[in-house]
Chains A and B, each alone.
Chain A
Amino acid sequence: MDESPAMLRHQFEDASQQRESAVLGMWVFLATEIMFFGGLFAAYTAYRYQYGAGFAAASHHLNMLLGAANTAVLLTSSLTMALAVHAAQVGKKPAHIAGLLVLTMLLGCAFLGIKAVEYHDKFVHHLVPGASFVWEGTLTRQAEMFYYLYFAMTGLHAIHMLAGVGVVLVVAILAARGRYTPQYHNPLEITGLYWHFVDIIWVFLFPLLYLIA
């Protein structure tokens, strides 16, 4: 085999077994993640069914343009991430791979930045659930429940983004050191899977939270 033996851990027979294990492991983890968000999705479904009117009213106070912009940012970051994996697959220079990863990371940071602007806006307008929640209009409780779910779901998503940015940073550094070759780039590949997954969660959060007609 042509892989560098240093990358093959002792419990595996060969590089393809190691790679397949890593990829499968990440997919199993992502199934776990689906269910982790799933609890919140279930809460959302139950309350949206019961509190449709309040949810719609509350949703109008979210900035749909910022939400759409964030979706675009994340989708773009997914593209750069996919291209980074592709670059490693075809054996591009370390700087090339690392560059794409840094770009991905920056887009991730941009997402979090926009999210922070939105959160700040909600703080200013007293739309954070709890004692300081102020709602001008009817259906206060329903609106508060919406904002609770909004913060819980986007907050959990943002935590995943933060973790993702951290991991991408580490992988970018390793990539810059030339660790990833067409034969071995498992960490990069599974980081990519994670990144795309976080992207998919947002693809659902955007219409569910921002686009309640």
Chain B
Amino acid sequence: MSNHILPIKTYVAVFIALMVLLAATVAINRVSLGELNIVAALSIAVVKTFLVVLFFMHVRYSHRLIWIFVGVGFYWLTILLALSMTDFLSRTWPPLGR
């Protein structure tokens, strides 16, 4: 974990990118894409998260251990969502067997 110091212009650039992405989210929402709307909105949110985590939170310049714990948090959330959805998604499937 180095005490890496980023130049101010990096912070500003990230901030501008975040604002552009915010505008993009709102803009895309105006267009009706059906199921793709949510995909697009969440993809943008993920990109924003990456920007904040990597630069504002300095993870890009942190020890690998920090990377692991960042990953672990999101991975466990995925477990919770994915495995509980196995139930909700498949409840109306045709019955097993025969």
B88 touches A50 (CB 8 A): yes
Rounded to whole angstroms, the CA-CA distance of A89 and B61 in the bound complex is: 14
B25 touches A206 (CB 8 A): yes
Which residues of chain A come closer than 8 Å to B66, judged between CB atoms?
Answer: 23-24, 27
Which residues of chain A come closer than 8 Å to B11, judged between CB atoms?
Answer: 79, 82-83, 86
Rounded to whole angstroms, the CA-CA distance of A41 and B80 in the bound complex is: 9
Q: In this complex, what residue of B is CB-closest to A194?
A: B57
Interface of B is mostly: helix
The answer to the question of A159 belonging to the interface, with a C-beta cut-off of 8 Å to chain B, is no
Q: In this complex, what residue of B is CB-closest to A201?
A: B49
Q: In this complex, what residue of A is CB-closest to B89?
A: A49
B44 touches A207 (CB 8 A): yes
Q: In this complex, what residue of A is CB-closest to B66?
A: A27
B22 touches A20 (CB 8 A): no
Which residue of the partner chain, among B6, B29, B42, B85, contacts A86 with CB atoms under 8 Å?
B6
The answer to the question of A35 belonging to the interface, with a C-beta cut-off of 8 Å to chain B, is yes
Which residues of chain A come closer than 8 Å to B76, judged between CB atoms?
Answer: 31, 34-35, 38
The answer to the question of A90 belonging to the interface, with a C-beta cut-off of 8 Å to chain B, is yes
Closest Cβ–Cβ distance, residue A178 to chain B (whole Å) = 19
The answer to the question of A200 belonging to the interface, with a C-beta cut-off of 8 Å to chain B, is yes
Closest Cβ–Cβ distance, residue B85 to chain A (whole Å) = 6
The answer to the question of A57 belonging to the interface, with a C-beta cut-off of 8 Å to chain B, is no
Which residues of chain A come closer than 8 Å to B63, judged between CB atoms?
Answer: 20
Q: What 5 new A-B contacts, CB under 8 Å, besides A78-B52, A82-B56, A211-B37?
A: A33-B73, A34-B73, A35-B80, A89-B3, A192-B56
Q: Top 9 A-B pairs ranked by shortest CB distance?
A: A31-B73, A207-B41, A34-B73, A213-B37, A79-B15, A211-B29, A82-B56, A27-B69, A38-B77
